[in-house]
Amino acid sequence: MPREFHLDKDVYFDQQYRNALASIVPFVERHAPIGPQTRVLEIGCDAGGVLKAFAERGARVTGVDLNEESIDYARERFRQELGADRARFETSDIYDVDAVADLQAPFELVLLKDTIEHIHDQRRLLSRFDSFLAPSGHAFLAFPPWQMPFGGHQQTCAHPLLMRTPYFHLLPRRAYAGLLRKFREPPETVDALLEIKETGISIERFERIVAETHHRIVDRALFLINPIYQYRYGLAPRAQIRAIARAPYLRDFLTTSAYYLISAPEPRP
């Protein structure tokens, strides 16, 4: 069932861990080797599955998330690393933390996996990266472009028809909200899906923000089939078709995940 990975923390953790091990760590290590001297911060770490793959490479990891239940779960799964002072987890809004006093920045790597599309004022967040990153550090970001078939996260709906219907999140806000309510989605689900309608991000907007905040795109990978679908639906990962990847705006509708590695902010003149 499409909602299984959202409802079961063990399943979700395992999928995120396996996907990070198979696709995210290798993508990062093309340019930034991971080892015992690497400090990694994940913003929106949820249960910690992605961080587990980096911890197993010897990195010291820190996770921040708004959900206290998720942080408690992560601490349980990282008991060994916590005991060795190789991991820490904080329940906090990333906009409220002091990078140095609260998190002991700087970090060689900052991760945002399927997180930036949930954050308000994404430009403000990227503008703060210089407070988290070491001068030679990098940030890895992955997100589903808003216009892609399930960019509205409607797979989290309770109704079996809505959770399997692509693109209907692109309806005007009032029509979208009305449809969700007509199918009796819980109010908290409706609120969450309407919020992501406000915060969802496109490839074009993301790359514009990267440029505006003086970062540099070090590497990019667009996927026709998201690598994590291998663990959720048994679908093998597939890179985006080159002709589509080069077509602005069209690619947003057909790309299920975008991976980016960006550099620390460039010094301003």
**Same domain, yes or no, for 72 and 178?**
no
**Same domain, yes or no, for 115 and 176?**
no
Q: Is residue 125 part of a domain?
A: yes
**Same domain, yes or no, for 117 and 130?**
yes
Q: Is residue 149 part of a domain?
A: no
Segments forming the whole domain that contains residue 59 = 4-144+201-224+255-263
Q: Is residue 172 part of a domain?
A: yes
Give the span between the Cα atoms of 154 and 40, in whole angstroms. 31
Q: Which of 87, 126, 84 is nearest to 262 (CA)?
A: 126
Q: What is the pLDDT along the chain (269 residues), one digit of tens a residue?
A: 344 555 689 999 999 999 999 999 999 999 999 999 999 999 999 999 999 999 999 999 999 999 999 999 999 999 999 999 999 999 999 999 999 999 999 999 999 999 999 999 999 999 999 899 999 999 999 999 999 999 999 999 999 999 999 999 999 999 999 999 999 999 999 999 999 999 999 999 999 999 999 999 999 999 999 999 999 999 999 999 999 999 999 999 999 999 999 998 765 55
Q: How many structural domains compose the chain? A: 2
Q: Is residue 248 part of a domain?
A: no
Q: State the pairing for strand pair 133-143/257-263.
A: antiparallel
User: E strand or H helix at 102, and its extent?
Assistant: helix 99-103
**Same domain, yes or no, for 55 and 135?**
yes
Rounded to two decimals, the pTM is 0.94
Q: Is residue 179 part of a domain?
A: yes
**Same domain, yes or no, for 25 and 82?**
yes
**Same domain, yes or no, for 112 and 177?**
no
Question: Who's near 19: CB < 8 A, 6+ residues apart?
Answer: 50, 227, 228, 230, 231
Q: State the pairing for strand pair 217-225/257-263.
A: antiparallel
**Same domain, yes or no, for 139 and 217?**
yes
Q: Is residue 244 part of a domain?
A: no
Helix-, strand-, coil-residue percentages of the chain, each rounded to 5: 45, 20, 35
Q: Is residue 39 part of a domain?
A: yes
Q: Is residue 243 part of a domain?
A: no
**Same domain, yes or no, for 30 and 98?**
yes
**Same domain, yes or no, for 99 and 169?**
no
